[in-house]
Amino acid sequence: MSTPLTVDELRTALDEIRQTSARLGAQATNLAARAETDLGRDVAEIVKDLRAAARQLRVTQLLLEPAKADLAA
């Protein structure tokens, strides 16, 4: 049986998810730009997918911001 979740644990987990999302979003954006530049049209679908993933990660980060503020209160 696990111990009950504490607010501090939730805050920490939320912050880690937010940071990871931001880092992965930046990496996906950078990788998409590099692939488009270095590999050209052959990887157009991959670049499109990377850009979509980066957008989704940024949305995740934005969605987590209110929860972080709520937990800080």
Q: Summarize pLDDT for 24-50 with one digit per residue, the tens.
A: 888 888 888 888 888 877 787 888 888
Residues 17, 42: contact at Cβ < 8 Å? no
| 43 three-class SS | helix
Interatomic CA distance for residues 57 and 37, integer angstroms: 22
Does residue 1 register a pLDDT over 70?
no
Mean pLDDT of the chain: 83
Per-residue pLDDT, 28: 87
Interatomic CA distance for residues 68 and 54, integer angstroms: 21
Report field, pTM of the whole predicted structure over 0.85:
no
Q: Which residues contact 29 (CB under 8 A, 6 or more apart)?
A: 50, 51, 54
Interatomic CA distance for residues 44 and 37, integer angstroms: 11
